Copies of this chain bind each other. A is one copy, B any other.
Amino acid sequence: MLLPMQVHLTLPPWIGEMVDHSRRYTTDEDRMGLAIALARRNIEHGLGGPFGAAVFNAEGRVVSVGVNRVIPQTCSAAHAEMMAYMSAQQRLASYRLNANGGRYTLASSAQPCCQCYGATVWAGIDELLIGARAEDVEELTEFDEGPLPADWAGELERRGIAVRRDILRDQACDVLASYGARGASY
């Protein structure tokens, strides 16, 4: 019996087509639009949950993206936000994205669950943009958001992470509803 010594998480090949590297995603809506497009494409491919996320630098360039990969990677940590944080940190070779002074934003198609909430505290972002609310996720899908601090947004703000909610919320909810209508539940 050998101990597992590594974990290899991958993003699906189609995500390369989703990002326009010549473009600057400068508004909250531009950024959220990409996160929602990733979520939508992920359920069209039928391999993951209805969640997408992307990390942007201060100029609005895409640093990394993520989609939910829990089932294809058999990994409960492989949420969209985690994939985006981890791959951004690999790219920048920094375990805290803003350690060298840059400013970074995560756009997530839905409010981070308890795990991704905690990961957000350590990832080194300056802004968190949220599409669908936790209650939307729980109403439109079978997903549970898990236990959070009562003042979860305030706790982030006090650590220097600005939180903006309800960005393109209707579009974000459309993706959740499409997913929920398929009766999927994991």
A residues at B contact (CB < 8 Å): 1, 3-11, 13, 15-16, 19, 21, 61-62, 64-65, 70-71, 73-78, 82-83, 85-91, 93-96, 113-119, 121-124, 146-150, 152, 155, 186
Residue of B nearest to A144 (CB): B121
A4 close to B90 (CB less than 8 A): yes
CA gap between A90 and B8 in the complex, in Å: 9
Please pick, from B15, B78, B118, B150, the residue contacting A116 in the complex, using a CB distance under 8 A: B118
Min C-beta distance of A55 to chain B, whole Å: 10
> Which B residues touch A77, using CB under 8 A?
77, 82, 85-86, 119, 122
Please pick, from B15, B73, B93, the residue contacting A74 in the complex, using a CB distance under 8 A: B93
> Which B residues touch A21, using CB under 8 A?
1
Min C-beta distance of A67 to chain B, whole Å: 12
> Which B residues touch A147, using CB under 8 A?
121, 149, 152, 155
> Which B residues touch A87, using CB under 8 A?
3-7
CA gap between A16 and B85 in the complex, in Å: 29
CA gap between A75 and B76 in the complex, in Å: 17
Please pick, from B8, B65, B89, B146, the residue contacting A3 in the complex, using a CB distance under 8 A: B65
CA gap between A90 and B3 in the complex, in Å: 11
> Which B residues touch A115, using CB under 8 A?
115, 118-119, 121-122
